[in-house]
Homo-oligomer: A and B are copies of this chain.
Amino acid sequence: MSNTFGTRFKVTTYGESHGVAIGGVIDGCPAGLRYDDALMVSEMARRHEGKGATTRKEADIVEILSGIHNGYTLGTPIAFRIANGDVRSDDYTALENLYRPGHADYTYDARYGRRDYRGGGRASGRETAAHVAAGAIAKMLLLTKGISINAAIAEVYEAETNDSAAGVIACSVDGVPAGLGDPVFDKLNARLAAAMLSIPSAIGFEIGAGFAAARMKGSQYRDNWKGDGSMATLTNHCGGIQGGISNGMPIVFRVAFHPVVTIGQPTQCVDKNGDLHTWQPQGRHDSNHLPRTIVVVEAMAALTLADFMVQTTHTL
């Protein structure tokens, strides 16, 4: 399942950072959805234009290969492809036999016995371009149902030259009808947690009051009814989900990110024997990746919500 996200509105992604292309296939998108190219372009731009972006130019043109005819989805798989452009791989030969600290170099080798060492290969942050492209299509679907997703930086920290910093991104999903989510194991909150933790460098997730709720009393925490004839509540400590199912209030959650581990400083790597070697990273890197990550958070939230919107028949 590793490269597929979702169970009904599903996306399977592919691609290594320095291969021919990255991309994906969406299966389960309903027929009759108008494809909004402007939204696709703007979402890809949001991912690209974070402050302090790397020098590598990513055109990130999303080419649609199938599943859309005369501007509308057909109900068949929507394949998309993002070319990797004119990448130079020779910068990476020094890393063929070294494991950097904090990276997935060693763990990929431990799992697969080999890896594409160029630019992080499959583990590259570049892979999130496919998430954003798929997420844009999920957003198109959600927008027709009146559901909107907005993420923003909640906490951000700064780093001096040749170091990195991170922070916390908060996200709100508005317009979700009550009754969305599967109880017990596929709870909407559980699936959102998994979606967020699948983003590179995500390291914490909380919904509603989150970790602060651990210090509340039950009488404080529980969200009392407004009693105005609606099913709205006075507070939203639960973050819009009860028993794994949406209650019609906004869904609010926060995601903590750790700083990127590639920094401009000399770095001690190990080889396969465990011996240390000093490696000096080249080029510029983002000192803080959060500006570029906002749209990734939204994309993963959109994919999660779209998967629940494309529901199976659950009432007779």
Output the residue of A211, A215, A223 with the most chain B CB within 10 A. A211
Tell me whether A66 and B165 are in contact in the complex, defined as CB-CB below 8 angstroms, given that A205-B206, A263-B219 are known contacts.
no
Extra inter-chain contacts (9) besides given A3-B25, A31-B114, A187-B197, CB under 8 Å: A15-B77, A76-B116, A107-B242, A110-B178, A123-B183, A166-B216, A186-B198, A193-B194, A193-B196
Q: How many angstroms from the CA of A205 to the CA of B230 in the assembled complex?
A: 32
Task: Select the residue from A122, A200, A207, A316 with max chain B CB neighbours within 10 A.
Answer: A316
Task: Give residues of chain A (54-71) contacting chain B, Cβ–Cβ below 8 Å.
Answer: 63-67, 69
Contact B223 A101 (CB under 8 A): yes
Interface string of A204-218 (1 = CB under 8 A from B): 111111110111111
- The smallest C-beta distance from A55 to any residue of chain B, in angstroms, reads 18
A269-313 at interface with B (beta carbon < 8 Å): 269-270, 273-276, 309-313
In the complex, the answer to whether A108 meets B183 with C-beta atoms within 8 Å is yes
Copies in the complex: 4
Contact at B182–A227, with CB atoms within 8 Å? no
Known: A114-B74, A219-B265, A257-B214. A244 touches B198 (CB 8 A): yes
Closest to A158 in B: B217
Chain B residue nearest to A73 in the complex (CB): B316
A269: chain B residues within 8 A (beta carbon)? 225
A48 sits at the interface (CB 8 A): no
- The size class of the interface chain A forms with chain B is 35 or more
A189 at the interface (CB under 8 A from B): yes
Among B102, B123, B309, which residue has its beta carbon within 8 angstroms of that of A222? B102
A258 touching B276 in the complex, CB below 8 Å, given contacts A182-B2, A216-B166: no
Task: Flag if A218 contacts B165 (CB, 8 Å).
Answer: yes
Q: Are B256 and A221 in contact (CB under 8 A)?
A: no
| Complex CA distance for A53 and B276, rounded to whole angstroms | 53
- Chain B residues, Cβ within 8 Å of A257: 213-214
Tell me, yes or no, whether A191 is within 8 Å of chain B by CB.
Answer: yes
Give Cα A64–Cα B238 distance, bound, in whole angstroms: 34
Interface centre among A111, A127, A245, by most chain B C-beta atoms within 10 angstroms, is: A111
